[in-house]
Amino acid sequence: MVVGNWKMNGSAALLRDFAEAARHGAQACESVLCVPSVLLACAQSLLRGSALRWGAQDCAGHDLRASTGDVSAEMVAAQGTRYVIVGHSERRVRHRESDAEVAEKARRVCAAAMVPIVCIGESAADRDDNLTRNVLRRQLLALSRRVPGLTGVVLAYEPLWAIGSGDTASPGLIEETLEVIDHVLQFDAGASPGQVRLLYGGSVNARNAAAILACPRVDGVLVGGASLDPTEFFTICRAAGHRAAAAHAATVVAP
Ligand code: PGA
């Protein structure tokens, strides 16, 4: 799975470029562009029927209709959207979203029959202080309280220090941390082993994607900056497609 996160970037013209590029190369992986909510209708009209899907970057975690500027999960779903990123660190930090709020957003996305892509991750200070496991566990337990077993959730492990910094986590560190996440999921959050898809995000680009996707526990990537360039984005999709094909071939030949 490859998910692009356009953040506060993009335009109808850029979406047209992506729609055009998507027509030329079939994606051998699940590929999604998460666009600003004002572009969802445009994404629906340009990408409908294409293998490239579209998603949102956030939704409200409450029902208060008197809530200027907010968009509910149902409103997002009405744009043909199947995916919503929630709990990105830029929202957790800048908008002070708590673990409980993020979890409630994820619950609402599921209730609207969409897939929440829930971001979790530690800061550089957390990692330096050996708090990575605690932080991830706290975020995951809050999520499991609202979405039992994390059914239907896609998790994106995004260490804050790797986002937009060019400082990608090494495949070894990614694998080691996803193992921690898997352990918490299974033993603390009540998830069945292998049920929750795990993405990595943080300075993923066309050059490092194949190495990251080769990590056994990685099911896909969440891509920020590099998702704004169709050539770069579809190169990452091809790398994911190769990985999926290799994994499929391995299960076919396995006794
Ligand atoms: P980046 O962003 O790929 O530009 O580091 C990733 C993200 O914020 O999801």
Question: DSSP 3-state assignment of 221?
Answer: strand
> What CA–CA distance (Å, rounded) separates 17 from 149?
39
Whether ligand 1 lies within 6 angstroms of the CB of 4 is answered as no
> What CA–CA distance (Å, rounded) separates 3 from 8?
15
CA of 138 to the centre of ligand 1 (A): 22
Atom of ligand 1 minimally distant from the CA of 85? 9
Residue-wise pLDDT tens digits, 145-182: 999 999 999 999 999 999 999 999 999 999 999 999 99
Atom of ligand 1 minimally distant from the CA of 164? 5
Distances (CA, A) of 246 to 3, 175, 249, 252: 20, 19, 5, 10
Residue-wise pLDDT tens digits, 34-53: 999 999 999 999 999 999 99
**CA-based radius of gyration for the chain:** 17
Does residue 24 carry a catalytic annotation?
no
Residue-wise pLDDT tens digits, 84-115: 999 999 999 999 999 999 999 999 999 999 99
- Per-residue pLDDT, 243: 85
> What CA–CA distance (Å, rounded) separates 165 from 124?
12
Q: What is the DSSP letter of 226?
A: G
Q: Are 157 and 127 in contact (CB under 8 A)?
A: no
CA of 164 to the centre of ligand 1 (A): 5
Residue 250 neighbours by CB distance under 10 Å = 9
pTM exceeding 0.85? yes
